[in-house]
Amino acid sequence: MIMQLTVFLENTEGRLAALCRTLADANINMSALTIAETSDYGIVRIICNDVFRAVDVLEDAGFRATKTKVLAVEVPDRPGALAELLEALGSTNVNIEYGYCFLSDGNKAIDVLKIKPEDRTAAEDAISGAGFKLLHWNDIAS
């Protein structure tokens, strides 16, 4: 399990750039960033090297930021690998609240999955049982 940075961001010009600049000025490195948006705001999800400090830095700069526990799974970068992971989870009746993927190197992808706390143990067991590696923050955040 890893901690993800979640930022609620007004959907206005330059706000995402300001968020990224704030983290860069604090020497916080992002490994992944995804945005879900509405007409009024966006939810920015970030994997970074120091989530705890990132929350403090962003709040000091006027952003609304929180930490969220998510599962990070190393998956081979090949057709069908994500389907195999999701099929393994499907047998457990675990609900995936959201997910996203990013490439970690030339042949590995990282799938990030938000699972309800009460379903995490079953999800972790299914993931490991299917031969996938669960990652910790130091495996991906540099």
Instruction: Write the pLDDT tens digit of every residue in 4-23.
Output: 999 999 888 899 999 999 99
Burial class (CB in 10 A: 0-12, 13-18, 19+), 138: exposed
Place 137 in a pLDDT band, splitting at 50, 70 and 90: confident
Q: Which CATH number fits domain 70-140: 3.40.50.1860, 3.90.1150.10, 3.40.50.300, 3.30.70.260?
A: 3.30.70.260
Chain CA centroid to CA 57, Å = 19
What does 66-113 look like in DSSP terms, one character per residue? EEEEEEEEEEESSTTHHHHHHHHHHTTTPPEEEEEEEEEETTEEEEEE
CA distances from 96 to 17, 31, 103, 105 (A): 30, 22, 20, 25
pLDDT at 110: 92
Average pLDDT over residues 44-55: 94
Which residue type sits at 137?
W
Domain ranges of the chain: 2-68, 70-140
Chain CA centroid to CA 33, Å = 8
Q: What is the mean pLDDT of the chain?
A: 91
Q: How many CA atoms lie within 13 A of 132 on its CB side?
A: 29
Q: Which fold has domain 2-68?
A: VC0802-like (3.30.2130)
Q: How far apart are alpha carbons 114 and 47 in whole angstroms? A: 13
pLDDT at 27: 97
Q: How far apart are alpha carbons 94 and 121 in whole angstroms? A: 10
Chain CA centroid to CA 58, Å = 17
pTM: 0.87
